[in-house]
Amino acid sequence: MLKPDYWERAKQDLARADPVMARLIDAYPELHLARRSDAFTALCRAIVGQQISVKAADAIWRRFVDRAAPEQNASPFPALSPQRIVALPPGALRECGFSTRKADYLTDLAGHFASGRLVPAQWRTLDDESLIAALCDVKGIGRWTAEMFLIFHELRPDVFPVDDIGLQKAIAVHYHRGRRVAASTLRRHGARWRPWRSVATWYLWRSLDPLPVEY
């Protein structure tokens, strides 16, 4: 998968600005951000994975794809249709294993896409905060989920998810001898990494888990 066009420049700038970041970048020379699916499918997957184990999420996701896109159930990267999900009969999502709340979240997400309230082709005109606000209008999508989507799917270069536990832990490990610090301190670190805070965050995550996440 192609790397973002800014990736090499971001690596160089971060390495020059921060010796810790230079070491992390050198540790993962072949890895980079990459998207793997369309926007709607990526957001569905994000909602499916909320507050449950990876194993449980994978099982529910497979049943969901079987029901919502049976012709793609053998594909590792299925493309789901919001119109098809809106048209599913009552109870279909519950039969896939979703809670009533998550079924409502997915239906609301599908409605936003089907009605034109969310149009991915228009997102390039929005700055990060405007896109986060638009995504947070969907039931079940909060700021953290929106930020993850901007990093992993939209490949926005300067998102800094200060509420992310992995980011907090990695900064503690690499900059504060394992001691957790306040959000204001996290933001001071982030200020050094502008305009490539997504990239810095990605390398900090890799230091905890070498396997990249893809949306």
Return the pLDDT at 51. 85
pLDDT of residue 172: 98
The domain that holds 64 is classified in CATH as: 1.10.340.30
| One domain for residues 58 and 27 | no
Residue range of the domain that includes 102? 39-152
143 shares its domain with 85: yes
Q: Which two tokens stand for residue 104?
A: 């409502």
Q: Both tokens of residue 39?
A: 């926007």
pLDDT, average across residues 119-143: 97
Averaged over 82-96, what is the pLDDT?
93
| Confidence grade of residue 74 (pLDDT, cut at 50, 70, 90) | low
Residues 47 and 144 in one domain: yes
Indicate if the pLDDT at residue 35 is higher than 70.
yes
Question: Of 152, 175, 199, which closes a domain?
Answer: 152
Burial 44-70 (b: 16+ CB within 10 A, else e): bbbbbbeeeeeeebeebbeebbebbbe
Residue 215 domain flag = no
Domains contained in the chain, number: 2
Whether residues 148 and 164 share a domain: the answer is: no
Considering the domain boundaries, does residue 214 fall inside one?
no
Q: Is residue 13, in this structure, part of any structural domain at all?
A: yes
Q: Please measure the distance between the N-terminal and C-terminal CA atoms of the chain and give it in whole angstroms.
A: 12
Q: Band of the pLDDT at 210, cuts 50, 70, 90?
A: confident
Tokens read off for 32: 């980079």
pLDDT in tens, 6-18: 999 999 999 999 9
Question: Which has the minimum average pLDDT: 76-85, 86-95, 121-130?
Answer: 76-85
Task: Give how far Cα 106 sits from Cα of 64, 97, 180, 196, Å.
Answer: 11, 13, 35, 32
Cβ-proximal residues to 211 (8 Å cutoff; 6+ apart), any chain: none
Domain contains 213: no
Q: How many C-beta atoms lie closer than 10 Å to residue 102's C-beta?
A: 21
